Structure 1
Amino acid sequence: MAIAVIFPKVSLETDTGSIGRWLKDDGAEVAQGDALFEIDNDKAAVEVEAPASGFVAHARAAGEEVQVGEIVGHILESGEQIEAGSKPVAAPAQSADRNGAPAQPQANPASTRIVATPLARRIAAQHRIDLHGIAGSGPKGRIQKRDVLGKRSLADAPAVVSKSSWMQESGARQDGLHAAWLQREGTETLVALHGFASDHNAWRGLLAAGRPKARMLALDLPGHGRSTRTVPEDLDAICAMVEQRLAAEGIEHATIVGHSFGAAVAARLATRGLTRTDSLLLISPAGLGPEIRHQFIHGFVAARQPSSLLPWLQELVFDPGQISEAFIRSVADQRKDDSLSSALANLAERYFCDGTQTFSIRPDLERLRIPMRIVFGIQDRIIPFAHCHSLPGRVGLHAFRQCGHLPYFEQPELTLSIVDEMLALGRNDR
């Protein structure tokens, strides 16, 4: 069955975009998680991965304007076609010599040019891996991301990487955490953890204001986005999954930024210390008090249609006009996944049972001796601003006026400046 390739949202305010370039030729064989095409905007280049294994069928050309959520291609099985009149994708065939034996590929010993995807080159550069001698698994021997990761795992496995099946390769996974590099340039590392009922794409709203002074990795927490639908029993269980995902990316220390429920995970992650936290930025953090708006949690989880989602999405922000049609459509598209909606309901029951936050990060903040700040919207209608009273003395507070539960989205320039300050503090504190 054909699997649609969807043009994703790069910014929450963007309704349209275009493919900068296809990284896989029409008809090329791909594996799930391979970089499929790039989207270029004025802030960054974003690589979109193949949602399944099979053969690529382009539906839109590079440079052609498309709507967010539009189908730009398909992943097909061998011999499958999309519709009447479309060309089937043939299974790879070998030419035969006069005796009927398959012809052997002709090597070109004179050529020393390395053929590799941009993503493979960036990973190799980050980990100082020589691409010479790596056998490429892509078309015409092109070196793929998985080839470089395989080389790296052979060199680094004794040091940090567990052999859990869900961390062998970035991208979608059914039994682990999905991670996406939103920015790869920088000497510092910023790890971003989204809030409840969101995913890693939420941070693109922050990137719309500019680039942080660090490479930036965003994760999908369990029960969210493209990660496992399993609901861990407590914050420590979530942190264990995050730690292994970061180890798989070769991250030993980082500045951690978290929003809402993700901020609670970030605080516990810093306390555990397995991934060294250089500095900690918590945006609208959960876990500072028991109260949370019960009606929002249950109403937002239950909503499936744009008309029912809109009122709840508007509750997240001070200015309802900031919720764009593209934003609404992207959330509605996610809710078509019944497994996601079920996981969110289970998460709500476990961590926000009876309208109560069943966990606290205050002991974590008391123990930590690293640079820490909290950003909170004074007009937050989900978690009361009063939770910021009586914070530990080492925790700085930025109180944003005319701001709700999404400061990084509502006031991205100011938030980004604080992120950069935390990166500098973390670097100086090491």
Structure 2
Amino acid sequence: MSERILKMPRLGETMEEGKIVGWLIKPGDSFRRGDPIIEIETDKTIAEFPALGDGRLEEVLVEIGDMIEVGKPLARVDIVSGPDWTAEDGSAAEPETEAAVTKAEATADTAKEPPLDDNPKRPGDRVRATPLARRFARRSGIDINSVAGTGRRGRIEKHDVLAAADGQSVPSRMPAAAATSYAALRRGRMAYLDSGKAFGGTVLLLHGFSGDRTTWTAVLAGLRRAGKRVIAPDLPGHGLTEIEASSPSDLSADLVEFLDALAIEKVDVVAHSLGAVAALGLAASEPRRIGSLSLIAPAGIGSEIDTGFVHGMAGARTSGEIAHLLRRLSVNGIELSEAALEAIAADLARGRLRALADAVAGPSGQRVDSLMALQRLVASMPVRVLFGLEDRIIPWRQVLALPPQVAIHLLSRSGHMPQWDQTKDVLEILLSKGEQP
């Protein structure tokens, strides 16, 4: 062991002492050069101090909130066989001021997005966020754990908090090509997101009608932070998946083969709207592989549905049509850029969803029935249903027809997309003890 003392760095020429805001790693954790290890507040800013070399944290010698003079001990670290970087005073480390964040954001706009982090944090770990993001979250009264990070390795940036504060934390649905993988199946390729290795089980996210894998951005990030491996495919007829769908049964026809291709033996399924039909189809064909079902605003438990929305999305051709239709989904409103709206319109104008829309919604309402499948499944697996009380697409009162074994969660201030409107509440329900997802 090559044990050294990590001392309080000087983060500016006038800095004489700093306040310990938080440790970003815990004793026993290894780190690499450049990894943020401690958050320090000075009289000018709050900064994450990066490790100036490789090592492992052995013991923390100070408490959160302590004011420590520059050069005084902070922790014991093991530098293993590397050079003694702890001898440096850290004055070369640039604190993350607003200018630094702005520069980093500008660079990130032109850089290739890295793959999703393969090493998710364990429950209770401190979420990755910039000091500015934490400061803006505190000022805005926002729980930093409920914000989806768009930075490197899921790190929460200032603009993520500002978007959440404005009620605009809805994903843009623009393709995240660098993070998208493809499974070669018999009927064609299926696009999907995979958060990578984890220790807390695997969750399969199934989007609804006219959605795609990116509609799960915030939920995927939250589940990943909780240690879950998360798989979010584009269902047939949607997104980048090459397989077509003309009936609801087509949505689940490839899912068993998809799980086999990824060597996944068992999953907890979270499905939204029409994705619930795909989830029930998968559960009916391979019940042993399903740990639990969490259905958000599920289709098929009643006849009433906003058929105008379904057929409108299937036949939309312009960005204006898309903008009006998307506003029905969320109580917070969805304000996408014109480029994002045009991209969605161009995709939907291909007409891939028209046959599916006809099979889903007719003159008398919904043409799919999920109740019989649910009645068969509740005896063999935990099932819960989440609904927004302000859902304009499918009325929440349809839960009254559900079997009594189903756990029902009704969310206020939520429309058809509770995972957008109340992300934190949805994540807490999905991760609640005794009900895996």
TM-score above 0.5, yes or no: yes
* 8 A Cα contact 2:173 2:214, kept in partner: no
Q: Which of 179, 185, 200 is the equivalent residue of 1:167? A: 185
* 8 A Cα contact 1:252 1:275, kept in partner: no
* Secondary structure of residue in 1 paired with 2:385: strand
1:378 aligns with 2:389: yes
* Secondary structure of residue in 2 paired with 1:300: helix
Q: Alpha-carbon deviation of 1:315?
A: 0.8
* 8 A Cα contact 2:248 2:278, kept in partner: no
- CA–CA separation in structure 1 for the residues paired with 2:391 and 2:174: 33
Task: Tell me which residue corresponds to 2:67.
Answer: none
* 8 A Cα contact 1:243 1:275, kept in partner: no
Residues 191-214 of structure 1: CA distance to partner in whole angstroms, max 9, x if unpaired?
000000010000003246563431
Residues 153-180 of structure 1: CA distance to partner in whole angstroms, max 9, x if unpaired?
xxxxxxxxxxxx9339xxxxx8232221
Q: Which of 248, 271, 278 is the equivalent residue of 1:258? A: 271
1:177 aligns with 2:177: no
Unaligned runs of 5+ in 2: 1-104, 118-127, 130-148, 155-171
Task: Tell me which residue corresponds to 1:126.
Answer: none
1:344 aligns with 2:368: no
- CA–CA separation in structure 1 for the residues paired with 2:358 and 2:275: 17
* Secondary structure of residue in 2 paired with 1:389: helix
Q: Which of 103, 108, 120 is the equivalent residue of 1:18? A: 108
1:363 aligns with 2:372: yes
* 8 A Cα contact 2:329 2:393, kept in partner: yes
* 8 A Cα contact 2:386 2:409, kept in partner: yes
- TM-score between both structures, scaled by the size of structure 2: 0.57
Q: 1:46 to 1:272 in 2, by over 3 A?
A: farther
Residues 225-252 of structure 1: CA distance to partner in whole angstroms, max 9, x if unpaired?
01125225442x4323011111100111
Amino acid at match of 2:430: V
- CA–CA separation in structure 1 for the residues paired with 2:174 and 2:202: 33
Q: Alpha-carbon deviation of 1:259?
A: 0.3
- TM-score between both structures, scaled by the size of structure 1: 0.58
Unaligned runs of 5+ in 1: 1-14, 23-35, 48-67, 74-117, 120-144, 147-164, 169-173
Q: 1:202 to 1:234 in 2, by over 3 A?
A: closer
Task: Tell me which residue corresponds to 1:131.
Answer: none
Amino acid at match of 1:302: G
Q: Alpha-carbon deviation of 1:331?
A: 4.4
Amino acid at match of 1:299: G
Residues 78-100 of structure 1: CA distance to partner in whole angstroms, max 9, x if unpaired?
xxxxxxxxxxxxxxxxxxxxxxx
Identity of aligned residues (%): 28
Task: Tell me which residue corresponds to 2:87.
Answer: none
- CA–CA separation in structure 2 for the residues paired with 1:212 and 1:274: 25
Quick one: higher RCO (CA 8 Å, sep 6+), 1 or 2? 1
1:332 aligns with 2:342: yes
What is the total number of aligned residue pairs between the two structures? Answer: 282
Q: Alpha-carbon deviation of 1:356?
A: 2.4
Task: Tell me which residue corresponds to 1:271.
Answer: 284
- CA–CA separation in structure 1 for the residues paired with 2:412 and 2:293: 22
Q: Alpha-carbon deviation of 1:275?
A: 6.0
Amino acid at match of 2:420: F
Q: 1:182 to 1:297 in 2, by over 3 A?
A: same
Pairing 1:233-244 to 2, within 5 Å after superposition: 233-235=247-249, 237-244=250-257
- CA–CA separation in structure 2 for the residues paired with 1:404 and 1:38: 31
- CA–CA separation in structure 1 for the residues paired with 2:185 and 2:283: 21
Q: Alpha-carbon deviation of 1:410?
A: 0.6
Q: What is the RMSD of the two structures over their aligned residues, measured on CA atoms? A: 3.5
Q: Alpha-carbon deviation of 1:45?
A: 5.2
Q: 1:329 to 1:371 in 2, by over 3 A?
A: farther
Q: Alpha-carbon deviation of 1:70?
A: 9.9
Q: Alpha-carbon deviation of 1:330?
A: 2.9
* 8 A Cα contact 2:246 2:355, kept in partner: no
Residues 371-418 of structure 1: CA distance to partner in whole angstroms, max 9, x if unpaired?
111000111110111211131011010001121100001100010111
Structure 1 stretch displaced more, 284-293 or 199-208: 199-208
Q: Which of 224, 227, 252 is the equivalent residue of 1:213? A: 227
Q: 1:271 to 1:324 in 2, by over 3 A?
A: same
- CA–CA separation in structure 1 for the residues paired with 2:383 and 2:111: 40
Amino acid at match of 2:313: F
Structure 1 stretch displaced more, 266-275 or 277-286: 266-275
* 8 A Cα contact 1:184 1:216, kept in partner: no
Instruction: Kindly name which structure, 1 or 2, has the bigger radius of gyration based on alpha carbons.
Output: 2
- CA–CA separation in structure 1 for the residues paired with 2:304 and 2:231: 30
Q: 1:231 to 1:46 in 2, by over 3 A?
A: farther
